[in-house]
Chains A and B, each alone.
Chain A
Amino acid sequence: MTLLGTGVLALVLQTSLVQGVVLRKGTTERLSKATVELHRDPGSAGILDSVTTEDDGRFSFSNVEPGNYRLIVTRRGYARPPLAITITAGQPVENIQLNMSPAGSISGHVFDAQGRPMGNVEVQAMKASYPEGRRTLTPVQSVRTNDLGEYRLFWLPQGRYYAAAIHPKVQGMSQMLFSAVGMSMGGPAGMVISKGKADPALGESGYVPNPDPESVRYAPIYYGGTADEQTASGIDLREGADFGGVNFVVGPVQPRHVRGVVIDGITGRAAQYGSITLLRGPDAPRMKDVEVDRDTGQFDMVLFPGSHALTANSASGEGYAAFTLGDADIDNFTIPTTPVYDIPGRIVVDGPPIASGALEALQLSLRRDPPRGEQLSLSYSNPLPDRSFTLSASVGDYRINIAPILNLTRPRGGPTPALQNAYVKSARLGDTDILNGTLHLSAQTSETLEIVIATNPGALDGQVVKNDPGPAADIPVLLLPDLRSRNELYRATTTDASGRFHFDRIPPGDYKLFSWEEVEDGAWYDIDFMMAYESRGTPVHISEGRAETARVEVIP
């Protein structure tokens, strides 16, 4: 083999050493008997390698190829979330600290509507995230109830959780896999084979066949007794705590009818060639497509109780509806469809002028309010050199998005230097304030949308203090506008080594500062959560061009 050949081979094989130690959080105490597993990320759930720590708490994986991985560590009585690591060729990662804190548990019972315990119901512990300021729950652990209806979710790191109970007849993928009799599944690191023959009395999934599949269905029930993610109750799990009594009543949910007509939004008469598309999240159970009568525009939808959103189309234009379905049918539900309306607008600059041409980089768009489902609103408008622009939308409620200075969703890039200090001071359609309120669009408007952009924002310097000695270093600080619906104004930062923090380029207005010793990312979007702490925030008023100072007490 030539020298060149050897060199190439060596580059390809450059693997790394990954090692570290498992510690009890907040101490230097090493944890033995901890199992550290190396998983590919993303990848199948198979374990690539697994090491159990001895008294020195150390673990190491050798010959790890470059790529993305997750370290999952389990240890009796302790927990921590998985750690994501990236390995680059030939670079060892040698000082990983896996801090584990005492694990907690969530437990309770599941009953049916008659108060009898329900077995084999899946109970999930879930975490919330808040894209666009609206709660989405993702499961992080799941267990099944036994015949006494008992369940126990365990080895949970401290934090804020939500819980859901899911009847086995809601055919989630995992349910089907676990009961499947006769399947084989392979992946790069894991393989499962199951085979057998079921009792003929049971259906294929191992469950008693439903007497009448159409009439009896189940939907996930969240802790708090609701089928709606948005109103689910949170569970604040402390380190090592056993949170019990998280009970559920799971009953069949009657699907309900929503009957109505797709109409022409202008004439009020039935629209022709109507169609309805239900907007739903990625995991929602499949529903039949809605049929709309081509001539009369009539429809009869069968849906579960909860929050729904849909878009409608017809020969008369587009429409949208968001509604909450309770435990009764809805009749006479009209969905107006209208042509897309043009809204003329102009931008006015208040304060120091902005370089010509810089405003043309702004991307203006309207986002539905409240945001729901898959909204791929990729279209936007740029202002013209004369600072005018046009937005188009059909009937509905909206908020205005002006990327990258007013961002309801994550922007693609930051503001150009000329726009660094720009913020939206006001947005009005005629007399209506659509910055602090919602834009209701119901007809072609004759008014102009006026956006005032100012360039003299305020700033804030502050100090976080805490009761126990020492600086309040590395502590999260939140700046929330008094009008909480303005989620684009929420700001977060962390104190420096001496407990100081700084926010700059704050649009003037009334705000409140909060600081917690420990808080979960996004918890502040949760109304329930904030209710408990509202009185402990520090109010602050930000004025144009001025730097305020503030002193914030930390919430333990």
Chain B
Amino acid sequence: MYLLFVLAALLGVFQAQPQRSPSSIEGVVTRLGTTEPLANANVQLNLEVSGDRRDEIERQLQPDTPPIDSFHRKATTDGNGHFFFEDVTPGEYRLIATYDGEYVPAEYGQRSPAGEGIPFQIAVGQKMAGIQLAMSPTGAITGRVYDRDGDPLGKAQVLAMRPVYKNGHRSMTIVQSVVSDDRGDFRLFWLAPGRYYVAAKPDVLELPMKMAQPNSFTTPMVHVTSPTRFGTYELGTTPVIHKRKLKNGDIVEEMYVPVYYPNTVDMSAATAISVTGGATVGGVNISTGMGLITPRHIRGRVVDAAGQPVSGANIIAMPASLDPYFAIPHARSESDGTFEVTGLAGGSYQIFATIASEARTMNGYSAASVGERDVQLAPIAMTPGFRFSGRFVIEGNPRPGNGGNISYPHLGSLIRDPDIGGIFFGSPEFNPTPAADGSFMVDSIPPGNFRVLLQHMPPDGYIKSMRMGSADVLNDGLRISGVPEAPLEIVIGVNAGRITGSVADTRSGPLPNRTVVLVPDIRLRQRNDLYRVVSTDVAGRFQMQGIAPGDYKLFAWENVEPGAWQDSEFIQAYETAGQRIRISEGSVENIQLTVIP
């Protein structure tokens, strides 16, 4: 039964052809704003299949069907900027032109030089011709870095960042990291047109040139990639603490935090630099002296459940801030369980204590706020991790047509809240397959606050509720501080709502590639899982699935920064422009939206 379902899905993706298909795609890649062709550009034709479905389809392919990867094709433009894909198997694709260096990727259907494109259909025998992919040239930012005495500073780390929303808050992400030379000069390059922030700090991280020989010469860490349109990158490194002996014999500690252009350590006060295609913005000079701080210490002690000191535990202080570049102060506990973490700038931190050996694995957790002085923490209890049991319950009738074998979802992962990213700090990931009665068990869960993520939801499945005893885990998160007293009960509905609709303008007609966002009711705005974001297709249409019953608002924007809709300040301004919609079990709502300019 499952096999039939998958084959049907496969056929929905592309139509199997018994004989050769004459479908083809051809076009030209040009430099934006001109008719100048670009030779040697790479053009990718990628089959549009989303994540989970792709794995399933690949597993179940019939023997005589070509493998999925053969539907990802690459070509290079000739001297006339021309590309040609022949013998294209009908289906849904994306078409992207890329260039190793000087041009921003251009995707078919994009509405701005660095925007995302849309997938399109190739039918049997269709010959798509005359496509033009216009690639925007990149820009550069140059300047000089100065030290605290006003002298040029070499080997300073210089970051180019672009603004992004993280969990509804304004922040930045790193696009590129370079190193200043001995004259203090730097050049940030291959930047897609847009707004950038530039920050600098001394003590660039150096890594061994040969990892197998850790004492070999080191090279400064840079992050330079082919031009990107979007993508995020965050970097954390061990803080570098300098010691200076003053004339009176005192030893002072010093540390640098990044200074944002023009001259501030406050990310929100930084000035954006506008970079246009093909242009270089010069004179972006930064003085790192502003970033000089006195690093603070956190002292504490780790003990096990019996109150005995834990020696050799790794203590890491993760800043709660959303800065794309962050320091990771860390230390090791001594034989008496005490530890001293140095190199902390002011702010809030989550403290993680971990120890993993053959004998035992334990985790501890605390929080600290660092201000003008050192912090003494209460002892941190480390435990082997808690185990708890859980159960999935399927409630309600499935959507007609889905009937049959409804399988339970899986517990995917627990994401620390606030999110610090990475398994390293004990965001456990596991995938226990629920038993036939929907029950499962998880082990070694460290203490902390988490959001629960599920995987492999059944079709049209949604989370009705998630409770651990009397705690509402779905809305308040999962808080683990001791052995959980009750099992985690997750109730799944299998007849979620759907929305189909279109976005059109009375004058121009249907609007493709516009962003449509489903925002939950104002009382549930913290529920990340309730938001849905899609782009309209070529005909201005969109659809959404798996929507939990409730009240929502739908918005369609002409242009919007991804994630802005989670910013309460931002969405406030648009509340009245959203279309109210109520979703019930099994409903299919059909909505026509007007776009918000």
Closest B residue to A46 using CB positions? B238
Contacts of A184 in B (CB 8 A): 422, 424
* Closest Cβ–Cβ distance, residue B317 to chain A (whole Å): 11
B226 within 8 A of A: yes
Query: Do A208 and B42 contact each other (CB < 8 Å), given the known contacts A141-B219, A179-B225?
Result: yes
Query: Which chain B residues (187-216) contact chain A, with CB distance < 8 Å?
Result: 187, 189-190, 205-211, 213-216
Docked-complex contact B217 and A154, CB < 8 angstroms: no
Query: Which chain A residues (132-148) contact chain B, with CB distance < 8 Å?
Result: 138-144, 146-148
Binds A, one of B12-20, B21-29, B240-248, B363-371: B240-248
Q: Which of B187, B222, B231, B237 contacts A199 (CB 8 A)?
A: B231
Docked-complex contact B214 and A42, CB < 8 angstroms: yes
Binds A, one of B93-101, B436-444, B463-471: B93-101
Q: Mark A423-459, 1 if CB is under 8 A from B, else 0.
A: 0000000000000000000000000000000000000
Tell me the complex Cα distance, A35–B243, Å. 9
Docked-complex contact B154 and A52, CB < 8 angstroms: no
Binds B, one of A190-198, A375-383, A501-509: A190-198
B229 within 8 A of A: yes
Docked-complex contact B155 and A208, CB < 8 angstroms: no
Docked-complex contact B181 and A154, CB < 8 angstroms: yes
Interface size on B, residues (CB 8 A): 77
Docked-complex contact A105 and B182, CB < 8 angstroms: yes
Binds B, one of A170-178, A299-307, A516-524: A170-178
Tell me the complex Cα distance, A164–B224, Å. 19
Tell me the complex Cα distance, A124–B229, Å. 30
Query: Which chain B residues (120-169) contact chain A, with CB distance < 8 Å?
Result: 138, 140, 149, 151-155
Closest A residue to B181 using CB positions? A152
* Closest Cβ–Cβ distance, residue A9 to chain B (whole Å): 11
Tell me the complex Cα distance, A206–B190, Å. 13
Docked-complex contact A139 and B217, CB < 8 angstroms: yes
Q: Which of A39, A186, A206 contacts B226 (CB 8 A)?
A: A206
A86 within 8 A of B: no
Closest B residue to A149 using CB positions? B101
Docked-complex contact B228 and A45, CB < 8 angstroms: no
Docked-complex contact B187 and A146, CB < 8 angstroms: yes
Docked-complex contact B231 and A141, CB < 8 angstroms: no
Binds B, one of A69-77, A365-373, A484-492: A69-77
Tell me the complex Cα distance, A60–B249, Å. 12
B173 within 8 A of A: yes
* Closest Cβ–Cβ distance, residue A194 to chain B (whole Å): 5
Contacts of A152 in B (CB 8 A): 181-182
A120 within 8 A of B: yes
Tell me the complex Cα distance, A544–B189, Å. 68
Closest B residue to A118 using CB positions? B101
Contacts of B155 in A (CB 8 A): 74, 155
A8 within 8 A of B: no
Q: Mark A104-134, 1 if CB is under 8 A from B, else 0.
A: 0100000000000011100010000000000
Docked-complex contact B107 and A201, CB < 8 angstroms: yes
Q: Mark B294-314, 1 if CB is under 8 A from A, else 0.
A: 000000000000000000001
Tell me the complex Cα distance, A435–B381, Å. 73
Docked-complex contact B225 and A207, CB < 8 angstroms: yes
Contacts of A540 in B (CB 8 A): none
Docked-complex contact A41 and B215, CB < 8 angstroms: yes
Docked-complex contact A177 and B245, CB < 8 angstroms: no
Closest B residue to A147 using CB positions? B189
Among A77, A147, A201, residue most surrounded by chain B Cβ atoms (within 10 Å): A201
Closest A residue to B140 using CB positions? A147
* Closest Cβ–Cβ distance, residue A288 to chain B (whole Å): 20
Docked-complex contact A191 and B328, CB < 8 angstroms: yes
Query: Do A45 and B207 contact each other (CB < 8 Å), given the known contacts A51-B242, A142-B219?
Result: yes
Closest A residue to B138 using CB positions? A147
Tell me the complex Cα distance, A207–B102, Å. 13
Contacts of A206 in B (CB 8 A): 224-226, 228
Tell me the complex Cα distance, A356–B219, Å. 57
Q: Which of B105, B107, B174, B224 contacts A120 (CB 8 A)?
A: B224
* Closest Cβ–Cβ distance, residue B145 to chain A (whole Å): 12
B588 within 8 A of A: no
Docked-complex contact B217 and A141, CB < 8 angstroms: yes
Docked-complex contact B101 and A211, CB < 8 angstroms: no
Contacts of B170 in A (CB 8 A): none
A50 within 8 A of B: yes
Tell me the complex Cα distance, A190–B203, Å. 13
* Closest Cβ–Cβ distance, residue A90 to chain B (whole Å): 21
Contacts of A40 in B (CB 8 A): 215
A54 within 8 A of B: yes
Docked-complex contact A196 and B96, CB < 8 angstroms: no
Tell me the complex Cα distance, A187–B214, Å. 10
* Closest Cβ–Cβ distance, residue A407 to chain B (whole Å): 26
Q: Which of A45, A173, A194 contacts B235 (CB 8 A)?
A: A194
Docked-complex contact A194 and B217, CB < 8 angstroms: no
B330 within 8 A of A: yes
Tell me the complex Cα distance, A457–B536, Å. 91
Contacts of A23 in B (CB 8 A): none
Docked-complex contact B154 and A155, CB < 8 angstroms: yes
Query: Do A58 and B245 contact each other (CB < 8 Å), given the known contacts A179-B223, A194-B235?
Result: yes
Docked-complex contact B230 and A199, CB < 8 angstroms: yes
Contacts of B233 in A (CB 8 A): 181, 194-196
Contacts of B224 in A (CB 8 A): 119-120, 144, 178-179, 206
Among B181, B182, B206, B218, residue most surrounded by chain A Cβ atoms (within 10 Å): B182
Tell me the complex Cα distance, A205–B246, Å. 46
Docked-complex contact A195 and B99, CB < 8 angstroms: no
Q: Which of B228, B244, B247 contacts A202 (CB 8 A)?
A: B228
* Closest Cβ–Cβ distance, residue B150 to chain A (whole Å): 12
Docked-complex contact A50 and B240, CB < 8 angstroms: yes
Among B140, B215, B247, residue most surrounded by chain A Cβ atoms (within 10 Å): B215
Q: Which of B205, B218, B231 contacts A197 (CB 8 A)?
A: B231
* Closest Cβ–Cβ distance, residue B334 to chain A (whole Å): 12
Docked-complex contact B238 and A189, CB < 8 angstroms: yes
Docked-complex contact B221 and A195, CB < 8 angstroms: no
Query: Do A201 and B229 contact each other (CB < 8 Å), given the known contacts A154-B182, A192-B236?
Result: yes
* Closest Cβ–Cβ distance, residue A21 to chain B (whole Å): 13
Q: Which of A103, A140, A212 contacts B182 (CB 8 A)?
A: A103
Tell me the complex Cα distance, A146–B105, Å. 19
Q: Which of B152, B229, B234, B245 contacts A196 (CB 8 A)?
A: B234
B413 within 8 A of A: no
A65 within 8 A of B: no
Closest B residue to A55 using CB positions? B247
Query: Which chain B residues (410-425) contact chain A, with CB distance < 8 Å?
Result: 421-422, 424
Closest A residue to B188 using CB positions? A146
B44 within 8 A of A: yes
Tell me the complex Cα distance, A183–B238, Å. 15
Tell me the complex Cα distance, A207–B154, Å. 28
A239 within 8 A of B: no
Contacts of B240 in A (CB 8 A): 47, 50
Docked-complex contact A190 and B238, CB < 8 angstroms: yes
Could you list 12 A-B pairs, sorted by A, with CB under 8 Å? A54-B247, A146-B178, A147-B138, A173-B211, A174-B219, A181-B233, A193-B328, A195-B421, A201-B96, A201-B228, A206-B225, A209-B42
Known: A140-B217, A192-B235, A192-B237. 18 other contacts (CB 8 A): A47-B240, A76-B154, A76-B182, A119-B190, A120-B224, A139-B219, A141-B217, A146-B178, A148-B187, A177-B221, A178-B224, A179-B223, A192-B205, A193-B424, A201-B105, A205-B225, A207-B226, A283-B210
- Residues of chain B having any CB pair with chain A under 8 Å: 42, 44, 74-76, 96, 98-102, 105, 107, 138, 140, 149, 151-155, 173-174, 178-179, 181-182, 187, 189-190, 205-211, 213-226, 228-238, 240-247, 314, 316, 328, 330, 421-422, 424
4 closest Cβ pairs, A-B complex: A206-B225, A196-B233, A147-B189, A42-B215
- Residues of chain A having any CB pair with chain B under 8 Å: 33, 35, 39-47, 49-52, 54, 58, 60, 70, 74, 76-77, 103, 105, 118-120, 124, 138-144, 146-148, 150, 152, 154-155, 173-174, 177-179, 181-182, 184, 186-187, 189-199, 201-202, 205-212, 283
